[in-house]
Copies of this chain bind each other. A is one copy, B any other.
C-alpha cells in the first residue's frame, strides 16, 4: 500500500505520534447511509486500550474517539455516514513529560530508532514517535467503521500461543476470550499464561505471541487475482502491524508439511447449492478468492524489545553504549495486538467487498 494509507476502494490514512497532541484516521470511500456514532466505535478502542490490567503497559489513555466529519443526521433521527471522508481523532492525554536525553541519542536494539534515523536523519524519539504501537488505535477505530460495511461477516480473534505455549484446539470457548486479560479462548491456557506474563513483567522481560483471527460469513467471490489476492491483502495488512513478523492463511506453514491428499478440502453439495467443505486447510481462499469458508489467519508477534536487561548498542555518534528500556511497556505486545488484527481483517474484507461489487456488480 502507500506510506500512511491502506486500502483501495475503502481507504484509510492515519496520522499522529505517540507523544504528540493526538492521532487520527481519515476513512475514505465508505458507503453512505450507515449508522455511525462515537459509541459504535468506542468499545473496540476500549478493548485495545492500555492500562486495563497489570499485564499491559501502565500508560493510561482514555482513547476517547471523536467523529469530526463524514456523518450527518438522516432525517429519521439517526446519525449516518454521508459517503464523504470520515475523520476520527483520539487525543493523547498521558504523554509523560520526562527526560528523553538518553533515548534521544541511543538506538534501542529491536526498535525502529536506528532505522528511522538512517532513513530520515531525524526522528521523534518521544515514546517511539510514529513507530509507536499507539498508531494502531487509529486502525481499530477505522476497523469499527469497516465492520458496518460487512454486516454479513462475524469476526473473532484471540491469542492462540503466548511465549511458545499454545492453546488446546479442543478447549476453545469463544465466550472465554473476554473473561481473561489475554484474549485467550482456553481457560486453562489463560491460567498458565497469567504466570508466564507475570514472571516476564516482574523480571522486565518480554514474550511473543500468535494471534488468530477467523472471519465467518464471507461469501464466495471476494478478493481478486493476481496481486489483489485476499491472501496477499491480508498479509500486507497484518505485517504492517507493529511487532508482526509472520502471517499465515489457513494451515500456512503447516500446509508445507502435508501431502496433496492431506491438504485437499473436499467438497460436497450443500442444501443451498453451495458446496459444503469437509475441511478448511486453505483458510477460506482459493486462488486468492474467498470460497465461502471461514477466512482464517494467524499473525506472529515478536516479544517487544523494551526490556530491563541491558543490551549492547550504539548511539547516534556511532559510539558503543548499553541500553535499558525503563518505563511503561507491554510485557507481551501480542496481547493488545488482538483487536488490531481483527480491525485489519475487517478493513481488508470491507475493501474486498466494495472492489468485488465494483467489478462484478
Contact = CB atoms under 8 A, between A and B. Distances in A.
Given A5-B11, A5-B13, A303-B260, A286 B111 contact: yes
A77 interface: no
A289 B115 contact: yes
B227 A265 contact: no
A91 to B, nearest CB: 10
Interface stretch (A48-56, A169-177, A185-193, A268-276): A268-276
Contacts of A57: none
A22 B265 contact: no
A260 B164 contact: no
Contacts of A320: 268-269
Contacts of A288: 112, 115, 240
B118 A33 contact: no
A232 B240 contact: yes
A15 B5 contact: no
A181 interface: no
B307 A221 contact: no
B3 A269 contact: no
B263 A240 contact: no
A26 B4 contact: yes
A327 interface: no
B32 A5 contact: no
A107 B274 CA distance: 12
Most chain-B Cβ atoms within 10 A of its Cβ — which of A124, A208, A301, A359?
A359
Most chain-B Cβ atoms within 10 A of its Cβ — which of A246, A282, A334?
A246
A80 interface: yes
A318 B269 contact: yes
Contact of A359 (B29, B163, B266, B282): B29
A114 B13 contact: no
Given A15-B68, A121-B33, A314 B269 contact: yes
B300 A255 contact: yes
Given A224-B3, A312-B267, A359-B31, A85 B291 contact: no
A43 to B, nearest CB: 23
Contacts of A249: 239, 245-246
A120 B359 CA distance: 9
A325 B271 CA distance: 26
Contacts of A303: 255-256, 258-260, 262-263
A132 to B, nearest CB: 10
A358 B361 contact: no
Contact of A68 (B14, B16, B69, B206): B16
A208 B263 contact: yes
